[in-house]
């Protein structure tokens, strides 16, 4: 049951405690947990699928938690790649939290995984306040969202390790300069990394895997 009865600062403190518990569970099982955030339609799911394709070729084992307010479309897409996967419908909640993720990983055979992807609900605001216990996090935006997305949602970009600017093949069509997004991000997060990708053609996927510190070989 999803039941956290705290208020104000207690909520954040409890979420941090639960996120640390999740992180410790991942570490104990040798699982590299990667969080994906971003608006609806930015390309999060397809980027994860492209990485899964490469992990399968390298004999690496992977799983996913797919979060949406309703439906199981992304969950079914992950299953089609042979992924262990859990579908989470958050209903009126616009984000995942560590408590819900903790219950989800109870359903995943962590001992049988090398990498776990946690795809958050499509949103650039709410997820920023709820750490999940992942080892590394990426925020995905697409050029079709405009070149002001970083300036409009600064908090989430200051708290993440990697910015993925997706659908770069459409930049000229929508009159967006990806370098504007790059500059805005690095001004907020000078130690962050920026990747330009086209998930449809798989451009930039190998570089993204390096940035996300995803293992290249099976060491088990």
Other CB atoms within a 10 A radius of the CB of residue 106 amount to 10
Other CB atoms within a 10 A radius of the CB of residue 109 amount to 11
Distance CA 50, CA 206 (A): 9
Distance CA 46, CA 169 (A): 15
What letter would DSSP give residue 195?
E
Distances (CA, A) of 28 to 16, 55, 59, 84: 18, 21, 21, 19
DSSP codes, 83-151: -EEEEEE-TT-SS--HHHHHHHHTTS-GGG-SEEEEE--SBSSGGGG-----SEEEEEEEGGG-TTHHH
Higher pLDDT, 9 or 129: 129
212 Cβ partners below 8 Å, 6+ apart?
Answer: 34, 51, 136, 138, 162
Q: How confident is the model at residue 6 (pLDDT cuts 50, 70, 90)?
A: very low
Burial 158-197 (b: 16+ CB within 10 A, else e): ebbbbbbbbbbeebeeeebebebbbebbbebbeebbbbbb
Distance CA 123, CA 39 (A): 5
Q: pLDDT for 81-133, tens place per residue?
A: 999 999 988 777 778 899 999 999 999 999 999 999 999 988 898 888 889 99
List domains and CATH numbers for the chain: 9-211 (3.40.50.300)
What pLDDT is attached to residue 220? Answer: 56
Q: What average pLDDT does this structure show over 126-142?
A: 93
pTM of the model: 0.92
Beta bridge partners of 158: none
């Amino acid at each position: 049951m999803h039941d956290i009865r705290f208020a104000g600062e207690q909520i954040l403190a409890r979420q941090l405690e639960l996120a640390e518990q999740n992180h410790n569970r991942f570490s104990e099982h040798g699982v590299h947990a990667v969080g994906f955030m971003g608006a609806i339609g930015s390309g999060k799911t397809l980027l994860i699928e492209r990485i899964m394709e490469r992990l399968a070729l390298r004999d690496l084992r992977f799983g996913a938690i797919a979060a949406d307010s309703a439906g199981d479309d992304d969950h079914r897409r992950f299953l089609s790649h042979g992924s262990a996967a859990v579908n989470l419908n958050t209903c009126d909640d616009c984000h995942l939290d560590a408590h819900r993720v903790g219950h989800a990983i109870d359903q995943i055979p962590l001992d049988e995984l090398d990498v776990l992807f946690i795809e958050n609900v499509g949103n650039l605001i709410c997820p920023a306040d709820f750490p999940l216990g992942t080892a590394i996090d990426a925020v995905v935006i697409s050029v079709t969202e405009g070149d002001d997305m970083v300036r409009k949602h600064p908090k989430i970009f200051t708290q993440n390790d990697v910015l993925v600017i997706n659908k770069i093949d459409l930049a000229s069509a929508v009159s967006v300069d990806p370098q504007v997004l790059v500059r805005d991000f690095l001004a907020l997060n000078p130690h962050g990394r920026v990747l330009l990708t086209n998930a449809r053609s798989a451009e930039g996927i190998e570089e993204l895997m390096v940035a996300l510190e995803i293992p290249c070989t099976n060491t088990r």
